[in-house]
Amino acid sequence: MTSYAMVNSDDEISLTLKTIMDLTEAENLRLTFLDCLTKKKPLKILAGEVERITTPCLQILFSLKNWADYHNIDFSIVDMPQAFKTALDDIGLEEYLAPLEQRT
């Protein structure tokens, strides 16, 4: 399992999602997120490279948002490519995650 590209600066952690985010990636993503969250810094997720993302990873993204909300940690997803947006739309997650979208 390759790790995610991460930049850990003073104000935030940014994490770049991989091109294919499918079931095999899910656990890796979850553990990576957990790691980030312990740092208690704002978390910015760079989605620019995503070509395909499926339900398992989307579930984890959602759970991450929940946690961030609960612990008052800033959390955003940037550079969503069309494939990502379509997936969110299809699955019905848009209303939950879309407000988080920002553009750099």
Partner 1 sequence: MSDPMEQFKVIFFEECSDLLISLEEGLMQLQAGDCDEEVVHSVFRAVHSIKGGAGAFGFDRLVSFAHIQETLLDDIRSGALEVEQAYMTVLLQAFDILSELVGAAQRDEEVADDFGGDVAKAMKAILDQTGVPLAEKNATKKPDIETDTAEKNARLFRILFKPYAELFQRANEPILLIRELGTLGDLTVALDVSDVPDIEEMEAEHAYFSWDFSLITEYDEAAIREVFEFVEDDCDLQITDHGVYLSPEAFVEDAQAGLFEDIEDEPDASPDVLKPRKAVKPAKSGEAVVSQSIRVELDKVDTLVNMVGELVITQAMLREQGGELLVEQYPNLVQGIEDLSRHIRDLQDCVMAIRAQPVKSVFSRMPRLVRELTASLGKKARLVMSGEDTEVDKTVTERIGDPLMHMIRNSVDHGLEMPDVRAKAGKSEEGVINLSAFHRGGRIFIEIADDGAGINKKIVLEKAIANGLVSPDANLSDEEINNLIFMPGFSTAESVTNVSGRGVGMDVVRKNIQSLGGRISIRSEEGKGSKFTMSLPLTLAVMDGMVVDIGPEKYILPLVNIIQTLRPGKEDVNSLPDGRNVMMFRGEYILLVPLYDLYHIDNAIENPCEGLVVVVEGDGGVLMGFIVDDLVNQQQVVIKSLEANYALVEGVSGATILGNGRVSLIVDISTIQDMSANQLRKFQSASPETNKISPQAQISSEIH
Partner 2 sequence: MKKTALTIDDSKTMRDMVSFTLKNAGYDVVEAENGQLGLDKIAGASFDVIITDVNMPVMDGITFTREARKRAEAKTTPILILTTESGSDIKNEGRSAGATGWIVKPFNPEKLLQVVEKVCGS
63 interacts with partner 2 by CB under 8 A: no
Residues 22-41, interacting with partner 2 (CB under 8 A) = 22-24
Q: Which residues pair with 21 in a beta bridge?
A: 53
Count Cα atoms within 13 angstroms, Cβ side, for 41: 15
Cα dist from 103 to 1, 29, 34, 47, 92, whole Å = 29, 22, 24, 11, 21
> Judged by CB under 8 A, which of 29, 43, 46, 47 binds partner 1?
29
Using CB under 8 A, count the residues that bind partner 1. Answer: 26
Distance CA 64, CA 9 (A): 20
Tell me, residue by residue from 30 to 59, as one string, x for binding to partner 1 by CB under 8 A and - for no binding. x--xx--x----------------xxx-xx
Of 4-12, 21-29, 41-49, 74-82, the segment contacting partner 1 by CB under 8 A is 21-29
Phi and psi at residue 13, in whole multiples of 5°? Answer: -110, 130
> Judged by CB under 8 A, which of 43, 60, 77, 80 binds partner 1?
60
Positions touching partner 2 (CB under 8 A) are 22-24, 51
